Amino acid sequence: MSCCFSKKLFNRGGNRREDCYRVKETGEAKPEDGEAPKYSWDRREKVDPADFTVQDIHSKTLRKEGKPGGPLQIENCTASDNLACRWRDATILFLHQTSQVIIDDCRRCTIVLGPTQGSVFVRDSANCTILTSCQQLRTRDCTSVRIGILCPTEPIIENSNDICFFHLAMKYPHLKDQMHAVGLRPFTNRVVSVHDFSPAVGKPNFVVSAEPLKMSEGQDEILKVNTVILKATPADFIPRFTSMKDDDPTYLYILGKSEPVDELGDRAIEILHAVYRAGMKVMATYDVETKSLDASLIPFAGISERLILFQLSGSLANLECDVDFDLISENDMEPLQKLLIHLNGRKSG
């Protein structure tokens, strides 16, 4: 059977395959000038693996400086075998945004990460404390790990035990801008919806603490020297939640557009600061794209694209704020309860 294709179809104008990938420049030399052709792969920025790797850190503090936006690998970090300094954990800080983080084979480490656009994987690690904000978190084959986290999807654990989750409560310069750059919102956190792929019979493999994560005085000072603050301040922009119970909480909300994301978010942060000044406590917050929900769940949202909702405890008498907000009325309490059940029980994805 003969082929009906002509060689001309594969070699139109005498072009070679590699010529399709040439990077053309204004005023580039013509082939007859003798300059070698340049291709797209010749113009790629050279990647140094050392910029995205932390390994073999033992009983010391490393504030890793690298190129933001790429993946990060942390491996084989632990307390030293030297008896003179075995009391001291390894402390690793990478205060830049990342695309993905993998933590492998770490023992007795404190790891503080900037916002991650994708997933944080923790594997074969024990007796570590990790602070992170990310789109997804997964642990596998881990034991006795404390995780302070802000995550819009369910954290997932597998073949892990004695894992304790905390609401992320920290700040450092540029954290807010970095979170915005990777699409993370401070008022959305699914830490209470942990999923265990390998649940144990009897004692659960994880707990979610209502109390803030606490460090030793020495560890807290190490983080402070490196610009990371864990203690509450009036300038906090990530909500700090209370463990107290309130059978009659107050629900207030603001409405707006989906874009720009930070416009409505900045208004919510102003409300958060006013709530703290008034002595009220934050029980929960929700940042919701209303178009993704059944309209019957949010009749109070109207045609707005986005809703940020606060569940508060305490008196509104001292709440003074320059940002306009609305309170959930008695008529809207029934759909609100259905909305909260939906938001708290909704699976990721």
Q: Is 138 annotated as a binding residue?
A: yes
DSSP-assigned states of every residue in 288-301:
EEGGGS-GGG-GGG
Contact 121, 74 (CB under 8 A): no
Q: Is 97 annotated as a binding residue?
A: no
Q: Is 136 annotated as a binding residue?
A: yes
- The torsion region of residue 162 among left (phi > 0), alpha (psi -120 to 50) and beta comes to left
Contact 312, 251 (CB under 8 A): yes
Q: How far apart are CA 214 and CA 333, in angstroms?
A: 36
CA distances to 46, 109, 210 from 311, rounded to whole Å, are 49, 35, 15
Q: How far apart are CA 204 and CA 139, in angstroms?
A: 15
Contact 115, 181 (CB under 8 A): yes
Tokens 């304790």 found at: 164
Q: How far apart are CA 229 and CA 319, in angstroms?
A: 26
Q: How far apart are CA 138 and CA 184, in angstroms?
A: 17
Q: Which two tokens stand for residue 162?
A: 């004695």
HSE-up of 109 (CA within 13 Å, CB side)?
A: 29
Binding residues for GTP: 118-119, 135-138
Binding residues: 118-119, 135-138
